[in-house]
Structure 1
């Protein structure tokens, strides 16, 4: 990622932080509506706690974009754990799409084409690393 993109991701996420609980709700509502096959992954989850974990994880990733050597191993471990929950490589696309729609709803007019592109680049990069770690480099993305 280029530095201006990192700045866009970080500055736009800073605007989401004050509405993080609502954003997590928007995200999971969107995900379960658009990819209902993932809902069983969360059958035993406290969704408020899950939302808090999601936002905390996003904060770590967003704040670490300038130091990928620190966040990549954590993301890789997370991806390997997700295999045990039943997550499949194609689920990453659904999550990415829901993330973008959540940001669009949460940021409103601040969700510019440049912000969308920066988030898409960040998510695609990180999800690629996670898929490779969990399923091997030959896996279709």
Structure 2
């Protein structure tokens, strides 16, 4: 990712942060709509899960200026997700739900450049997580 993309991701996330819980609801609703079979991986009460999602996103987004600083936590998260039943093929679906959520949450602030920046960010991080979780026995 280039510095301009990092800045766009961070600026756009700052606009979503005030509606964090609403954004998390939209995200999970979309995820379960497009992949209903993953709903069984989650608790019935999603309150804490929504908080964890937004807190994790905040850490990652804020750490993007120094991506190496968030990679150990991303690796640990990826390995924990394997135990929950997450498969490598789930990552693009989650990415799709995330981008869709950001588009809805940002409205007119969801520009082609912002979309490209978020796509690059998610692709970079999810690629790393997939490699760490599934490429090493």
Q: TM-score range with shorter-chain normalisation?
A: over 0.9
Q: Structure 1 unaligned segments of length 5 or more: list them.
A: none
Task: Tell me what 1:126 maps to.
Answer: 125
Deviation at 1:45, TM superposition (A): 5.0
Question: How many correspondences in the alignment?
Answer: 136
Give TM-score scaled by structure 1 length: 0.94
Task: Tell me what 1:47 maps to.
Answer: 46
Give TM-score scaled by structure 2 length: 0.97
Task: Tell me what 2:36 maps to.
Answer: 36
Task: Tell me what 1:94 maps to.
Answer: 93
Task: Tell me what 1:117 maps to.
Answer: 116
Task: Tell me what 1:12 maps to.
Answer: 12
Q: Structure 2 unaligned segments of length 5 or more: list them.
A: none
Q: For 1:53-98, what per-residue CA distance to the aligned partner results, in whole angstroms no more than 9, with x for missing partners?
A: 0000000000000111110110010000000000000000110000
- Alpha-carbon RMSD: 0.9
User: Post-superposition, which runs of at least 4 consecutive aligned residues in structure 1 deviate over 4 A?
Assistant: none
